Amino acid sequence: MPLVALVMHPAAMLYESAIAAEVFGVDRSDLSPDGRWYDLVASTADGTPHRWLPDLPTVPYARLTDADTVVVSSTDDLDGEQDPALSRALVAAHERGAQIASLCTGAFVLAAAGLLDGRTATTHWMHADALARRYPTVDVRADVLYTDEEDVLTSAGKTAALDLCIHLVRNDFGAVAANGIARRLVVPGHRRGGQAQFITPPAEPRTQDGLGPTLEWARGRLDQPLTVGDLAARAGLSTRQLARRMHAELQTGPLDWLHHQRIARAQELLERTDASVDQIAHSCGMGTATTLRRHFQRAVGVSPTTYRSTFRLR
């Protein structure tokens, strides 16, 4: 089982800590391709259980080197001095090979430990300027939900912490697991890290009114050559009205939405079925395997075959 250590430093904040505990601390092995899920421990300076997570196994900072992933909770003390023991423990865990992730203002904790030097990072937009001023070697991006540099990840403010946690699940266990936990938490399955803060999810409308029935209709016909005109006609709108509505409700255009849905369908079929790449290309409306491979590589970062070998449900 991948071991996740949630750092509950003295200034840890409840909201982001609870998000991490919910995602990594509740057994959802039924969503995993191999029946595994995470083992979650809290980490405090001396291993004393934190008052917010009293029933969670707790280890001292020195044991962070045992973790596969270390998640640092947000902090409400941006001006305080960093605990040198925590900085040393984070660096040691990273050097041992653990991926290190911060939630919201937890980026200040990583920066103080030197783990963000020369890297791209984000934090809550209200504190991004302060992070950039204090740590000029960090490339601070205030307009994204989260950053992923493989072994060091950061999230923006508040609920963006959930986006990052689901992103980690997607990396570890695949799209079906990530989408499954998102459905159980009643949140969108995937908001891209480069998406600006404040943006509503691209995959679902805010309500079941308005565009909801049209988008559901389209999702049931992704194997067909749908056009913007088809969507507009179904919604009873002009193409311009449809574009305005989709940008207002989803912050994306009709073609981009369709493309995202086709890629998501391809991911699920790669995980859940034995269909060939040609068959999947047809089923998600990409036409040919060559077209699917090109767009899939660009969107997901790996080929369909590599994705399937990593996340195929047993």
Contact 56, 22 (CB under 8 A): no
Helices (H) and strands (E) in the chain, counts: 13, 9
pLDDT > 70? residue 29? yes
- What pLDDT is attached to residue 205? 42
Q: What is the DSSP letter of 12?
A: B
Q: Which CATH class is domain 202-311?
A: mainly alpha
- What pLDDT is attached to residue 312? 66
pLDDT > 80? residue 288? yes
- What pLDDT is attached to residue 55? 94
Q: Assign 70 a pLDDT band (cuts: 50, 70, 90).
A: very high
Q: Average pLDDT of 45-52?
A: 96
Q: Assign 277 a pLDDT band (cuts: 50, 70, 90).
A: very high
Q: Among residues 108, 268, 251, 261, which one has the least CA distance to residue 178? A: 268
Q: What is the Cα–Cα distance from 110 to 100, expressed in whole angstroms?
A: 8
Partners of residue 153 on adjacent β-strands = 101, 148
Identify the CATH homologous superfamily for domain 3-182: Class I glutamine amidotransferase (GATase) domain (3.40.50.880)
Q: Assign 314 a pLDDT band (cuts: 50, 70, 90).
A: very low
- What pLDDT is attached to residue 313? 52
Q: Average pLDDT of 104-111?
A: 97
Cβ neighbours, 10 Å, residue 137:
10
Contact 123, 151 (CB under 8 A): no
Position with higher pLDDT, 145 vs 84 = 84
**% residues pLDDT > 70 (the chain):** 92
- What pLDDT is attached to residue 190? 58
Residue 69, token pair as written in the block:
């992933």
User: CA 211: distance to chain centroid?
Assistant: 25
- What pLDDT is attached to residue 83? 95
pLDDT in tens, 199-245: 333 444 444 457 889 998 999 999 998 999 999 999 999 999 999 99
Q: Over the range 268-306, which residues count as b (16 or more CB within 10 Å of their CB) and which as e?
A: bbbbeeeeebeebbbbbbbeebeebbebbeeebeeebee
**% residues pLDDT > 90 (the chain):** 68
Q: Average pLDDT of 68-72?
A: 98
- What pLDDT is attached to residue 306? 85
- What pLDDT is attached to residue 188? 61
- What pLDDT is attached to residue 200? 30
Q: What is the Cα–Cα distance from 243 to 241, expressed in whole angstroms?
A: 5
Q: Could you check whether 3-182 and 202-311 share the same CATH topology?
A: no
What rounded mean pLDDT belongs to the chain? 89
- What pLDDT is attached to residue 207? 41
pLDDT > 50? residue 164? yes
- What pLDDT is attached to residue 199? 31
- The full set of domain ranges for the chain reads 3-182, 202-311
